[in-house]
Amino acid sequence: MAGHSHEEVSTPNIQITSEGAQQILERAREIAERSVTVSSTAYSTHAAKVEIEGESVEGVILALYGKVELETQREELATEIRQIPGVLEVKNFMIAEDTILRTAYQRLDAMRAKGKLEDAQNISILVENYILHLYGDVPQKDMKYALEREMVGITGVKVVVNHIGLNKNIPGNLGKTRNV
């Protein structure tokens, strides 16, 4: 057909996976749905997301995303999904809140050991939904912000709310935030 121009129609990138891979993915999602605790509050859902990371004739590689309360939940979910026939590997990118809290207290202890928190009192940490809250009293503003900076880099923390110097019994989220 001389003289006719042919325009290319762009198609969106659609990941096409085999039927078997889709069945494995559906089974893994069912396990995740059943295994991961969903809290009763609207602000504390703990949904796990399962995606296909790779596919070959031997099987699939799955990736886990989301948040759980406990590291043991994170590990048990990955272990159970690895048992599905056709799953070659599970890449676990889930965040466990108890791991965030443990890391935060390790950093706090390290600061104390280096003498960076001299005369600080009642320092406590709360983690919920990727948000880390700092409470307590410090004698200097520099110490307050040094503590905040130390917590910002923790994997899984999206926001640090610094209540240092405020009474933690006051209702509401008082304090300054630092977004990651």
Question: Both 114 and 163 in a single domain?
Answer: yes
Question: Per the domain annotation, does 48 fall within a domain?
Answer: yes
Q: How many CA atoms lie within 13 A of 118 on its CB side?
A: 3
Question: Per the domain annotation, does 3 fall within a domain?
Answer: no
Question: Both 111 and 151 in a single domain?
Answer: yes
The pLDDT value given to residue 126: 95
Q: Domain count of the chain?
A: 2
CATH code of residue 130: 3.30.1340
CATH code of residue 58: 3.30.300
CA distance linking residue 64 with residue 77, whole number of Å: 9
Question: Per the domain annotation, does 4 fall within a domain?
Answer: no
Amino acid occupying residue 146:
A
3-state secondary structure 35-95: HCCCCCCCCCCCCEEEEEEEEECCEEEEEEEEEECCHHHHHHHHHHHHCCCCEEEEEECCE
Q: Which of 93, 109, 136 is the last residue of a domain?
A: 93
Question: Per the domain annotation, does 69 fall within a domain?
Answer: yes
Q: Which of 45, 64, 93 is the last residue of a domain?
A: 93
Question: Both 69 and 86 in a single domain?
Answer: yes
Question: Both 49 and 78 in a single domain?
Answer: yes
Residue 164 domain boundaries? 98-179
The pLDDT value given to residue 156: 92
Contacts with 11 (C-beta within 8 Å, 6 or more apart), sequence order: none
Question: Both 83 and 118 in a single domain?
Answer: no
Question: Both 88 and 105 in a single domain?
Answer: no
Question: Both 63 and 114 in a single domain?
Answer: no
Question: Per the domain annotation, does 46 fall within a domain?
Answer: yes
Amino acid occupying residue 167:
N
pLDDT tens digits for the chain (180 residues)? 444 444 444 444 445 568 889 999 999 999 998 877 554 444 445 678 999 999 998 999 999 999 888 899 999 999 999 999 999 999 999 999 999 999 999 999 999 999 999 999 999 999 998 899 999 999 988 999 999 999 999 999 999 999 998 444 444 444 445 555
Question: Per the domain annotation, does 7 fall within a domain?
Answer: no
Beta bridge partners of 127: 132
The pLDDT value given to residue 158: 93
Question: Per the domain annotation, does 79 fall within a domain?
Answer: yes
Would you say 152 and 160 are in contact if contact means Cβ atoms under 8 Å apart?
yes
Question: Both 80 and 116 in a single domain?
Answer: no
